[in-house]
Amino acid sequence: MDKFTDVLALNHNIIFGDALYKINKTRQTKLRRPENLPREEDCQQLRDYTLRRIAELTSDEYHVWNAAEYCELRDLVLSRLTLFNARRGGEPARLTLSEWQEAVDGQWLDSAAIGNSTDLEQRLFREFRITYQTGKGNNHLVPILFPLDTCQGMMKLTDQTVRSFVGIHQNNVYAFPNSKHSLDHVSGWHSVHRVSTDADIQCPELLNPTKMRHLISTLYAARDVPEQDRRLFYLHMGHSEKVNSAIYQAPLSHQEVTKVGFHLQEIDQCKHFCCN
Q: Could you tell me the residue ranges of all domains in the chain?
A: 1-32, 39-259
- E strands present in the chain: 128-134, 141-147
Q: What is the mean pLDDT of the chain?
A: 82
In this structure, what DSSP letter does residue 179 have? S
In order, the DSSP letters of 77-128 are HHHHHHHHTT--TTTGGG-BHHHHHHHHHTTTS-HHHHHTS-HHHHHHHHHE
| CA–CA gap between residue 62 and residue 83 (Å, rounded) | 30
| CA–CA gap between residue 90 and residue 216 (Å, rounded) | 18
Are residues 102 and 133 in contact, defined by beta-carbon separation less than 8 angstroms? no
pLDDT band per the 50, 70, 90 thresholds, residue 247: very low
| CA–CA gap between residue 196 and residue 147 (Å, rounded) | 20
Share of the chain above pLDDT 90, in %: 40
Q: Which residues pair with 130 in a beta bridge?
A: 145
| CA–CA gap between residue 200 and residue 136 (Å, rounded) | 31
**pLDDT tens-digit profile of 186-242?**
999 999 999 999 999 988 888 888 888 877 777 777 777 777 777 787 777 765 555
